[in-house]
Amino acid sequence: MTSSEARRPKGNRKFLWLTVFIVLLFGGYSAGWFYVADRVKAEVATAVARMNRGDIRLECDNPQVGGFPFRIGVSCDHVGYEDGSRQLRASASGFRSLAQVYQPTRALAELDGPLYLTAPGVGSIRLDWERLRASVRVATPLPERVSVEAEGLKGTSDAPGSAAVALFAADRTEGHLRPNGADIDWAGSFAGLTIDPGVVDGRILPAMNGSGEATLKNGVALVRSRPKSLRGQAVDIAELNLASGDAAVSIRGPVSVAEDGLIDADLVVTIRDPMAVADILANAFPERKGPIRQGFMGLSLLGNEPSMPLKIVRGRATLGFIPLGEIRPLR
């Protein structure tokens, strides 16, 4: 027997043991994955049952867990939410979430439209989109970060017994939330927003872009308590921007709502290209065309980006030294 023939059985045994090890490893991993999947499915059912108390109703039809072998996620054929005390209702088609097995605290989710939404002061709205995706970094007691992005977002009225009416459309929208100590930070933006004239009493508004950052004071506690009113809340606006072409308006500063619903604010308003802003407002409010152009012509003398203080004290608003009137108490 040659030396190569003597080594062959030993090499075959090593290959055989390696094959057995791989099979056992994959079999053990598969068993563990399906065990975790069963636990996740049970947790989803428990969470839905836990939410369905009092005036809250949460629906997840035909929940399934998939993604084997390297991902794990939950899907529902239909999702719904109802808060009877707030008169909020929302329902949508298929929902899917997915997380990598090696990074289970970061989940991605997709929602199939349309989304039907009913809320006080808003009525019934149908939202459609080309693509809507969310990401969540799971943590306790609140997620570290929640992000939502949508492309081709459209809103139409969906009042029973009446024809659907277009409300708005946006090429792209996104929003991000994250806890910051006891507060909650928000950042968001939109591009190509158009508002149907019927929503603003026939006014013609151009396509707009916007962005902003703000902090909801004591937001973590507010999310837990689910307040039914804006009273007693406070927001620190880092910046809110609204632009159309060369015209732009930005606002920054703190805003608070007293327990009686009256607003207090100490804001700074900055206007870029005042005469371009005047053209937009004059087109939207032709009955006020003259005063609008005169007022913004005076602002343009202060430069191409003048800033003015906007103060609201107990609901009474003034822009610089110009009284703007009173704001009704919020509910």
| Helix, strand or coil, per DSSP, at residue 217 | coil
- Per-residue confidence at 237, pLDDT binned at 50, 70, 90? very high
Amino acid type, 290: G
* Residue 251 and residue 163 share a domain: no
Tell which of 199, 228, 257 closes a domain: 228
* Residue 282 and residue 180 share a domain: no
Which bin fits 144, alpha (ψ -120 to 50), beta or left (φ > 0)? alpha
* Residue 103 and residue 2 share a domain: yes
DSSP string, 123-138: EEEEEE-SEEEEEEE-
Decide if 75 is inside a domain. Answer: yes
Each residue of 134-183: pLDDT tens digit? 999 988 777 889 999 999 999 998 777 677 788 999 999 999 999 999 99
Number of domains the chain is built from: 3
Q: Using the structure block, give the residue that is written with the tokens 């929503």.
A: 199
What six digits make up the tokens of 216? 């909801």
Q: Using the structure block, give the residue that is written with the tokens 């026939």.
A: 202
* Residue 249 and residue 223 share a domain: no
- Per-residue confidence at 131, pLDDT binned at 50, 70, 90? very high
Query: Would the pLDDT of 247 be above 60?
Result: yes
Show the domain range for 91.
1-112
Burial of 151 (0-12, 13-18, 19+ CB in 10 A): middle
Whether the link from the prior residue into 141 is cis, omega within 30° of 0, is yes
Residue 150's pLDDT is 95
pTM of the model: 0.83
Task: Please answer whether residues 213 and 194 qualify as being in contact, where contact means their C-beta atoms are separated by less than 8 angstroms.
Answer: no
Decide if 117 is inside a domain. Answer: no
* Residue 203 and residue 286 share a domain: no
* Residue 199 and residue 99 share a domain: no
Each residue of 290-301: pLDDT tens digit? 888 888 888 888
Each residue of 98-114: pLDDT tens digit? 998 888 889 999 999 89
Which of 117-121, 191-195, 228-232 bottoms out in mean pLDDT, i.e. has the lowest? 228-232
**CA 158 and chain centroid, separation:** 21
Q: What is the CA radius of gyration of the chain?
A: 28
Q: Average pLDDT for residues 107-135, to the nearest whole number?
A: 90
Average pLDDT over the chain, rounded to whole?
Answer: 87
* Residue 166 and residue 71 share a domain: no
Nearest of 118, 124, 65 to residue 95 by alpha carbon: 65
Residue 8's pLDDT is 55
Tell which of 112, 129, 158 closes a domain: 112
Tell which of 210, 228, 246 closes a domain: 228
